[in-house]
Structure 1
Amino acid sequence: MIVLNQLSLRRGVKLVLDHADLTLHAGEKVSLVGRNGAGKSSLFALLTGKLQADAGDFSPPPRWRVAEVAQEMPETAEGATAFVLQGDTRLMEAQARLAAAEATQDGHAIAEGHAGLAEAGAFDARPRAQALLLGLGFGSAQLDAPVHSFSGGWRMRLQLARALMCPSDLLLLDEPTNHLDLDALVWLEAWLQRYEGTLLVISHDREFLDAITRVTVHLEDAKLTRYGANYSGFEAMRAERLSQQAAAFSRQQDQIAHLQRFIDRFKAKATKAKQAQSRVKALERMERIGPVLSQADFAFSFREPGQLPNPMLVMRDMVCGYRLDEGRDKPVVHGITRSVQPGQRIGILGANGQGKSTVVKTLAGTLGALGGTVTQGKGLAIGYFAQQEMDVLHPESGPLEHMIRLAKQVSPQAREQELRDFLGQFRFVGDMVQQPVGSLSGGEKARLVLAMIVWQKPNLLLLDEPTNHLDLTTREALSMALNSFEGTVMLVSHDRALLREVCDGFWLVADGAVRDFDGDLDDYQRWLLEQSRERSRAAATAAAAPASGGTAEQSGANRREDRRAQAQARQKLQEQLKPMKKELAQVEARLATAQAEQEAASARLGDPALDGARRAELGRQLKALGEEIDTLEGRWLALSEAIDQATAEAAAA
């Protein structure tokens, strides 16, 4: 277990921990909560040995393997799967030992090296790495794409997959959900629930914490307080604790006042001097209960819109997508015909890559529609929160410069002091209003974008992942502001608590279309899990599905024509799949043979009568078989994906 005993830790002049005590038991799943800047990441650095305690004792378990998500953005041409594989430190160590043995031609060491590879799970490591990538939202075509071809958010997913790949006793996750869509978030929850080691996670997603943790550690005023509950339980227990402390403080203040009145009244009287002096000593000995200090929570509100057009937006056969450099159009979502009314609260759902952000960008006007029309109501004022805040911010400019530039467009009469006061409501005070945005934290950038939106007095809010980098307090302030907003809200978010609290209806972006989702978020999570299984069932479903019958009015000739067309389509599909299925069968057969040869060679290595030359030869054979198996497994995965995709497309048609 992990034990902190009277531990103190400083970062510069700031006291992060002051004689803090904490015990975490093996296998516990723990959330670390506290305000931004309280020192949560510093505690992680202490656990990984990057920081040393200034006082007290810290005793990590010996020989524990610790895994964490690296924060630097990798810049390499290495493939995604190979990059994630390097997170398996045990496998990397086994490969290094084997390489050293082969360099010295030590037959016995080569044999031990191959045995070490088997113990490290080398023969199924590549499929395990690819399963992590697929679960986190990568497509099959991206599994071997170079790391530098991915955007920043996707590279952080690669770092997360690499941390999960590491065989660890302690897993440290600092805001792992920031760059995940809801489908990847649901998958990660399921993975972490199965994780057998000790988990310590920092997150501002309350539903994520409730789903995976059973212990909450609160960092406040340089002290650590352990609660035996998930986040919701922690909130209830802490509220009760604060209530009891407030009551005890009030009672003690009454007692102190009573004693002080007696002392003040009788300290000058000789007959009562002894009693007065005893009460002075009682006051000095009294252990004072601290008051419940209510730190100022962040709160804001959207200004009342000047008008509410009805309808706000009207879409007719709208096509959303991108115009490529060579002039071709790449449609992502098409045929959108619907309207947006005043006062609606719409949550936009959809699996990763289906086009949620593309739809929002098109409605916001940052992308032009590729087809159809989108008509804005008269007087429409859009407030757009981009998923990447820097899309609307200038890194070299400070918050005040951003507001001055915005005010010239929206309200030219605004004075600088008025803008400074307004920024103060969003915690930008003093010299901070001049600080370049590029040097601000993610949460500070998000607050600045919110401030800029509020100033514009929008009547339609288009919010694409607004909670990335926001702490729980700011998320709650955003939820309250949205609920009191009189205009219309369209929200893309992986924060289920925000979606539940704000939205009263959902759109689903899937299969290139937008439709109403008839259900709640629990239904949607079940739908996501079902979608992850759908490809494996697609072939059987397509084969077993009966030919569709016609309506009562449809003639027998039409039904026969339908059946003939369906039969032709099935025959065409089988002809298309035949060479892939044949190759898949050949790959499976060779894979089974290679694995059998591998097992036999591994067994022969255990023969003590083998000489060094024979051991070395067997080692080389095992290495060649391992490489062949890796290649075969990769080809098997690619063929299976291609067959599933072709079958699913045929079934959808």
Structure 2
Amino acid sequence: MKLTGIRVAYGERVLLNNADLLIRPGDKIGLVGPNGAGKTTLLKVIAGEEKPDDGTVLADSGTVIGYFSQNVGEMSGRSALEEVLAGAGSVYEIGRKLSELEHRMADPASQMLSDAEMDLYGELQTEFLAREGYDLEYRCEAVLTGLGIGPDRFREPVENFSGGWKMRIALARILVLNPDVLLMDEPTNHLDVESIVWLEQWLRNFKGDLVMTSHDREFMTRLCSRTVEVAAGAVTTYSGDYDFYLREREIRREQLIATFNRQQARFAKDEEFIAKFAARASHASLVQSRIKALEKIERITLPAETKVMQVQFADCPRSGDQVVMMKDLGKAWKIEGKRDHEVFSGLTGAVMRGNRIALTGVNGAGKSTLLKVITGLTPPTEGTVTLGSSVNLGYFSQYSSDVLNPERTIFEEVSDRIPFATIGSIKNILGSFQFSGDDSDKKISVLSGGEKSRVMLACMLAVPVNFLVLDEPTNHLDIQSREVLLDALHRFEGTILIVSHDRYFLRHLANRVFEMDNGKLNVYEGDYSYYLHKKNMD
């Protein structure tokens, strides 16, 4: 598949300008670049969902393209399994036609099939067999199970599933389609580590072409052998994985700067000559020759540095050695008209000063609930949880409504936490999180997910804390912002309890692991790599 001279612009804003991309058979390509640079637009152009203003998209006749996006659309009227079966495209339709014909053949009251219908039946059966249609339902069930939707939910109406689980069903539809070209926009969002590991293995075995975006560095590095950067309207291909891309990009930038400096030195020399001899008639032809030569030279421009947030924790006051003590801790949610839903019970353990604990477990295991109990946002049903002496807690929630007031502006939200700070110091904090000028007057309710994440981090950093409780802090952050946050957490001198499905992030941060497992707490006295090894997920 080949894209040539692609241009996409929205008014004055040019996202793609004369962009070329070659997708070779068997390619696994990672799309990278700043948020808003045009990665999703490029995927839509490849998928045929968006027409470029200029340029061509060439694909072999009959190429099947599957596109997984963050917009799953409406789902209703089917069970989870039926929804995934319907995503299999023509194979599913062939199966339906075969079923209709077989029903007529088996029903004595129905009219016999004509010779033409019998021929059609034979052709459909041959194609269905060739496309492994008889295994279709089994494959659908295997994909759903791999993505965390077990047999007990196969027949459940899709309307019963939350947005995150509908994302998994939409992802399963695309995988079962098994297209020639698979396009994926942030496929690991809403997945727990177990599902990410399963998806990674599935994609490794995928025989078609893969082009994807992901903020999960480890997921992309382990899968993609080519990297394509979308930035400042340009599409640049690197013949290696994400780590290779980082090294090669720096080399190319240094070479570009060196060439730019040489060009500037030449311009300065020529301009000095022109200024010196412009008034001399004897040098008129030489001056004009230099002017024309300068006009013909294509001037090198240096791409602007990408802005990233700057995370700097305040000085960390020392806490007591015991930061959190849990004794026979339990939590059950009361559900009106139904039996109480027990999330966990009998949890006993301690968080010690200096611990950097990864709290893990499948989606729905109770991780966020445990964090809310520890932070005092909800009381335990049984047992006790006690914070140690001199513990100052900072809490980041994956749900902004837990922390932020949607009716306030960004400035009001941060200034409320530090009422005695000057306007200038508050503006400095906001500026470090990429909120400058009038941005600080935006209401929380109108912000994107990534903007809300940055506001929550700004609020947390506005006051000195020594115990950070972080529930999916990397959600909505691009790779570069995640690594800025990771570096800041490395420098943080207090205690950390974190939930995240980013394995790269946790490998480089956690020194202990708490696992929520069927309402119980398993403690691993080792780092996150040790935990993955013990769970056979490395």
Q: TM-score, normalised by structure 2?
A: 0.89
Q: Give the counterpart letter for 2:82 in structure 1.
A: A
CA distance in 2, matches of 1:146, 1:411: 48
CA distance in 2, matches of 1:388, 1:135: 26
Which of 392, 395, 398 is residue 387 of structure 1 equivalent to?
A: 398
How do residues 25-174 of structure 1 correspond to structure 2 at under 5 angstroms?
25-70=24-69, 71-72=71-72, 74-76=74-76, 78-98=78-98, 105-106=113-114, 107-108=117-118, 109-174=120-185
CA distance in 2, matches of 1:100, 1:400: 63
Query: Does the CA-based 8 Å contact 2:229-2:237 persist in structure 1?
Result: yes
CA distance in 1, matches of 2:126, 2:409: 59
CA distance in 2, matches of 1:437, 1:134: 37
Query: Does the CA-based 8 Å contact 2:18-2:55 persist in structure 1?
Result: yes
Are 1:337 and 2:336 matched, yes or no? Answer: no
Distance 1:456-1:130 versus aligned 2 partners, 3 A rule: farther
Q: Give the counterpart letter for 1:374 in structure 2.
A: V
Distance 1:69-1:294 versus aligned 2 partners, 3 A rule: closer
Are 1:216 and 2:223 matched, yes or no? Answer: no
CA distance in 1, matches of 2:426, 2:159: 40
Q: Which residue of 1 aligns with 2:204?
A: 193
Query: Does the CA-based 8 Å contact 2:511-2:528 persist in structure 1?
Result: no
Q: Give the counterpart letter for 1:88 in structure 2.
A: A
Q: Which moved more, 1:465-474 or 1:263-272?
A: 263-272
Say which SS state the counterpart of residue 502 (structure 1) adopts. coil
Q: Which residue of 1 aligns with 2:23?
A: 24
Which of 183, 190, 199 is residue 194 of structure 2 equivalent to?
A: 183
Q: Give the counterpart letter for 1:241 in structure 2.
A: R
Query: Does the CA-based 8 Å contact 1:314-1:376 persist in structure 2?
Result: yes
Q: Give the counterpart letter for 2:63 in structure 1.
A: W
Q: Which residue of 2 aligns with 1:449?
A: 456
Which of 234, 238, 251 is residue 240 of structure 1 equivalent to?
A: 251
Q: CA deviation at 1:232?
A: 0.9
Q: Please, which runs of 5 or more residues in structure 1 have no aligned partner? A: 532-653
Say which SS state the counterpart of residue 18 (structure 1) adopts. strand
Query: Does the CA-based 8 Å contact 1:94-1:120 persist in structure 2?
Result: no
Are 1:440 and 2:439 matched, yes or no? Answer: no
CA distance in 2, matches of 1:391, 1:62: 51
How do residues 211-360 of structure 1 correspond to structure 2 at under 5 angstroms?
211-325=222-336, 329-360=340-371
Distance 1:77-1:402 versus aligned 2 partners, 3 A rule: farther
Query: Does the CA-based 8 Å contact 2:274-2:287 persist in structure 1?
Result: yes
Query: Does the CA-based 8 Å contact 1:216-1:230 persist in structure 2?
Result: yes
CA distance in 2, matches of 1:390, 1:68: 31
Q: CA deviation at 1:50?
A: 1.9
Query: Does the CA-based 8 Å contact 2:511-2:527 persist in structure 1?
Result: no
Residues 375-422 of structure 1, C-alpha deviations (whole Å, 9 max, x = no match): 112343322222333443455554345446xx1xx4444566765554
Distance 1:397-1:98 versus aligned 2 partners, 3 A rule: farther
Greater per-residue helix proportion? 1
CA distance in 1, matches of 2:339, 2:97: 51
Residues 488-534 of structure 1, C-alpha deviations (whole Å, 9 max, x = no match): 11111111221122223323333543333244444433444479xxx
Are 1:425 and 2:424 matched, yes or no? Answer: no
CA distance in 1, matches of 2:171, 2:259: 46
Query: Does the CA-based 8 Å contact 1:507-1:515 persist in structure 2?
Result: yes
CA distance in 1, matches of 2:238, 2:184: 19
CA distance in 1, matches of 2:4, 2:68: 27
CA distance in 2, matches of 1:442, 1:149: 24
Q: Which residue of 1 aligns with 2:499?
A: 492
Q: Give the counterpart letter for 2:447 in structure 1.
A: L
Q: Please, which runs of 5 or more residues in structure 2 have no aligned partner? A: 105-109
Q: CA deviation at 1:483?
A: 1.7
Query: Does the CA-based 8 Å contact 2:507-2:529 persist in structure 1?
Result: no
CA distance in 2, matches of 1:393, 1:325: 27
Q: Which residue of 2 aligns with 1:535?
A: none
Query: Does the CA-based 8 Å contact 1:351-1:528 persist in structure 2?
Result: no
Distance 1:126-1:338 versus aligned 2 partners, 3 A rule: same
How do residues 585-604 of structure 1 correspond to structure 2 at under 5 angstroms?
none
Say which SS state the counterpart of residue 317 (structure 1) adopts. strand
Residues 619-647 of structure 1, C-alpha deviations (whole Å, 9 max, x = no match): xxxxxxxxxxxxxxxxxxxxxxxxxxxxx
Residues 325-364 of structure 1, C-alpha deviations (whole Å, 9 max, x = no match): 4585544444333322333222223344443333222212
CA distance in 1, matches of 2:301, 2:375: 51
Say which SS state the counterpart of residue 312 (structure 1) adopts. strand
Q: Give the counterpart letter for 2:91 in structure 1.
A: L
Q: Give the counterpart letter for 1:423 in structure 2.
A: L
CA distance in 1, matches of 2:317, 2:529: 36
- Greater CA radius of gyration, 1 or 2? 1
Residues 76-106 of structure 1, C-alpha deviations (whole Å, 9 max, x = no match): 2532111111111122221454477669854
Q: Which moved more, 1:432-441 or 1:42-51?
A: 432-441
Q: CA deviation at 1:185?
A: 0.7
Query: Does the CA-based 8 Å contact 2:418-2:462 persist in structure 1?
Result: no
Q: CA deviation at 1:37?
A: 0.7
CA distance in 2, matches of 1:423, 1:372: 40
Are 1:362 and 2:384 matched, yes or no? Answer: no
Query: Does the CA-based 8 Å contact 1:183-1:528 persist in structure 2?
Result: no
Query: Does the CA-based 8 Å contact 1:90-1:167 persist in structure 2?
Result: no
Distance 1:456-1:155 versus aligned 2 partners, 3 A rule: farther
Q: Which residue of 1 aligns with 2:12?
A: 13
Q: Which residue of 1 aligns with 2:107?
A: none
Query: Does the CA-based 8 Å contact 1:314-1:374 persist in structure 2?
Result: yes
Q: CA deviation at 1:324?
A: 4.1
Say which SS state the counterpart of residue 31 (structure 1) adopts. strand
CA distance in 1, matches of 2:276, 2:195: 70
Say which SS state the counterpart of residue 84 (structure 1) adopts. helix
Say which SS state the counterpart of residue 383 (structure 2) adopts. strand
Q: Give the counterpart letter for 1:81 in structure 2.
A: L
Say which SS state the counterpart of residue 8 (structure 1) adopts. strand
Query: Does the CA-based 8 Å contact 1:179-1:468 persist in structure 2?
Result: no
- Identity value in percent: 36
Q: CA deviation at 1:22?
A: 1.8
CA distance in 1, matches of 2:368, 2:380: 13
Are 1:464 and 2:471 matched, yes or no? Answer: yes
Q: Which residue of 1 aligns with 2:510?
A: 503
Say which SS state the counterpart of residue 468 (structure 2) adopts. strand
Residues 428-479 of structure 1, C-alpha deviations (whole Å, 9 max, x = no match): 3444444444443221121122122222433211111111111112212211
Distance 1:393-1:78 versus aligned 2 partners, 3 A rule: farther
Q: Give the counterpart letter for 2:202 in structure 1.
A: W
CA distance in 1, matches of 2:53, 2:508: 43
Say which SS state the counterpart of residue 250 (structure 1) adopts. helix
Q: Give the counterpart letter for 1:158 in structure 2.
A: I
CA distance in 1, matches of 2:332, 2:440: 37
Q: TM-score, normalised by structure 1?
A: 0.74
Q: Which moved more, 1:446-455 or 1:206-215?
A: 446-455
CA distance in 2, matches of 1:327, 1:8: 56
Q: Give the counterpart letter for 1:130 in structure 2.
A: E
Distance 1:119-1:477 versus aligned 2 partners, 3 A rule: same
Query: Does the CA-based 8 Å contact 2:510-2:527 persist in structure 1?
Result: no
